[in-house]
């Protein structure tokens, strides 16, 4: 299958400037995108950022880094499966992303997440609500296009198609009624990146399609339209969250067998064994037995579930769009989709809402809010000069403070908090 048969080079263009390859560098533009992600400081920092459980709670469970690596692997699997099964219209198959581009998007999709996961995101939203907002996906776009230290003020200077793949929510913050989002941010990009987003959308798509893509289909603060590439990335992300995070919490004995049965029973009562593309199906009995029997049985079930989801994806169309990148997206048939949503809800309800996890979330929010308040008083004095000067000086004070805190790891934020607020803790010689 020949992937991504382009009739022009518009999607390989870079916003800031054309960069000719170095001598004897035979990589294409998307391979170079992927390399920049892997070698970025933002990507390395993910190893010390919370996924579901705190990074200091053990050595087995996922961090944001391992989560992102797993998303890239599942994304590759989905792409390969769709190509092999020809699971979509010929036009859609011809516009599937090159492997390097999809891997780059999957590896980069969580670069913007602040310390302490979604609790840190909520804390920064609370402080930035009247200053342009904060949302993790919006920060990802900001990092790759402006903040990452590849080119000063230009981030990684990514290709147009990578920008479109990472534009998970193509609506600016200013389009939302912010009074409707007191506790958590709307899904959006920041107005500081509007010029770049307008450029990314402007050449490939018609004005009418851009209008429908960026203003239609908002549900509960979440835009529903995204590009084909972004839909593959999001599906891979959902699968990893639903399956691998469940594996973590079962291994940590944070959920019981009867709790899992209670959530999954309605799905299996409705559909019976859930059958995918190449497996005989997975049953409720397998969940009840294999998930809790031992680590070997659990790993077999996890592998079977991953195969079930990967081999069940197909390309569906939205008739309101003409261009293939906007028209097509990845989707499951109803039984598979319902199982995935149920597993995600199980993880959220039984783990994220778990009292001990909520305590840690409150702690993370308190740390982030107090750091922001203190830094905002005198940022040029409290933030190291090398870090403060490296931030984009075209932005206002609050945005630069926000960028600095969002880039911290969990441990770094805790050390700074201890130095600032805990008596008898911290010294000028602390390694940070």
Q: For residue 97, what is the DSSP state?
A: P
Cβ proximity of 137 and 171 under 8 Å: no
Give pLDDT, residue 6. Answer: 44
Query: Helices (DSSP H) in 109-256: which residue ranges?
Result: 117-128, 136-142, 160-166, 194-202, 207-215, 228-251
| Contact assessment for residue 132 and residue 191, using Cβ atoms and an 8 Å cutoff | yes
CB 77 within 8 A of CB 310: yes
Nearest in space to 155 (alpha carbons), one of 391, 402, 396: 391
Per-residue pLDDT at 209: 94
Residue 282: DSSP 8-state: B
Residue ranges and CATH numbers for the domains of the chain are 28-230 (1.10.3210.10), 239-355 (no CATH), 359-421 (no CATH)
CA distance 430 to 432: 6
- Specify the pairing of strand 222-223 against strand 218-219: antiparallel
**Cβ atoms within 10 Å, residue 432:** 10
Rounded Cα distance between 221 and 213, Å, is 15
Per the listing, tokens 């099964």 go with 85
Q: How far apart are CA 400 and CA 131, in angstroms?
A: 11
Please, are residues 200 and 166 in contact by the beta-carbon 8 Å criterion? no
Mean pLDDT, 10 residues at a time, over the chain (432 residues)? 53 86 85 96 89 52 87 97 95 96 98 92 96 97 94 92 97 93 93 96 93 82 92 96 84 86 92 70 88 91 92 94 96 93 88 76 94 96 91 90 96 93 69 47
Total residues found in the chain within this entry: 432
Using an 8 Å Cβ cutoff, are 304 and 282 in contact? yes
- Write down the pTM of the prediction: 0.92
Q: Which residues contact 34 (CB under 8 A, 6 or more apart)?
A: 100, 101, 103, 104, 107
Angle between helices 29-38 and 99-108 (to 10 degrees): 30
pLDDT at residue 146, rounded to an integer: 94
Distance CA 49, CA 144 (A): 18
Question: For position 279, what pLDDT does the model report?
Answer: 54
429 Cβ contact partners less than 8 Å away, ≥ 6 residues apart: none
Buried b (16+ CB within 10 A) or exposed e, 267-303: bbeeeeebbbbeeeebebebbbebbbeeeeebeebbe
């Amino acid at each position: 299958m020949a992937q991504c048969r382009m009739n022009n080079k518009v999607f390989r263009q870079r916003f800031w400037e054309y960069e000719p390859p170095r001598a004897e560098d035979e990589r294409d533009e998307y391979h170079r995108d992927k390399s920049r992600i892997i070698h970025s400081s933002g990507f390395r920092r993910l190893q010390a950022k919370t996924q579901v459980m705190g990074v200091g709670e053990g050595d087995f469970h996922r961090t944001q880094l391992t989560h992102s690596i797993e998303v890239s692997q599942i994304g590759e699997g989905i792409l390969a499966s769709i190509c092999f099964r020809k699971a979509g219209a010929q036009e859609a198959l011809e516009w599937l992303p090159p492997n390097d581009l999809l891997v780059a998007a999957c590896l980069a999709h969580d670069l913007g997440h602040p310390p302490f996961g979604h609790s840190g995101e909520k804390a920064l939203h609370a402080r930035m609500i009247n200053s342009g907002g904060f949302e993790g996906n919006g920060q990802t776009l900001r990092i790759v296009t402006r903040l990452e230290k590849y080119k000063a003020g230009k981030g990684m200077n990514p290709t147009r198609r990578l920008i479109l793949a990472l534009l998970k929510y193509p609506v600016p913050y200013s389009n939302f009624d912010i009074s409707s989002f007191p506790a958590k941010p709307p899904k959006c990009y920041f107005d500081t990146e509007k010029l770049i987003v307008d450029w990314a959308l402007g050449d490939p798509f018609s004005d009418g399609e851009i209008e429908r893509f960026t203003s239609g289909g908002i549900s509960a603060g979440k835009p529903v339209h995204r590009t084909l590439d972004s839909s593959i990335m999001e599906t891979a992300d959902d699968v990893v969250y639903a399956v691998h995070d469940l594996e973590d919490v079962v291994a940590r004995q944070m959920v019981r067998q009867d709790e899992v049965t209670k959530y999954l029973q309605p799905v299996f009562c409705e559909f019976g064994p859930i059958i995918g593309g190449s497996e005989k199906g997975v049953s409720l009995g397998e969940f009840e037995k294999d998930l809790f029997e031992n680590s070997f049985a659990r790993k077999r079930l996890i592998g079977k579930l991953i195969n079930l989801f990967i081999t069940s994806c197909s390309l569906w169309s939205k008739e309101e769009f003409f261009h293939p990148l906007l028209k097509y997206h990845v989707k499951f048939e109803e039984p598979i989709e319902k199982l995935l949503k149920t597993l995600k809800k199980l993880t959220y309800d039984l783990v994220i809402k778990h009292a001990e996890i909520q305590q840690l979330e409150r702690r993370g929010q308190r740390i982030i809010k107090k750091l922001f308040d203190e830094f905002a008083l005198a940022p040029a004095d409290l933030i190291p000069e090398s870090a403060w000067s490296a931030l984009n000086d075209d932005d206002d004070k609050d945005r630069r403070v926000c960028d600095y805190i969002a880039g911290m790891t969990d441990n770094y934020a805790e050390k700074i908090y201890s130095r600032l607020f805990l008596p008898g803790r911290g010294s000028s010689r602390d390694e940070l």
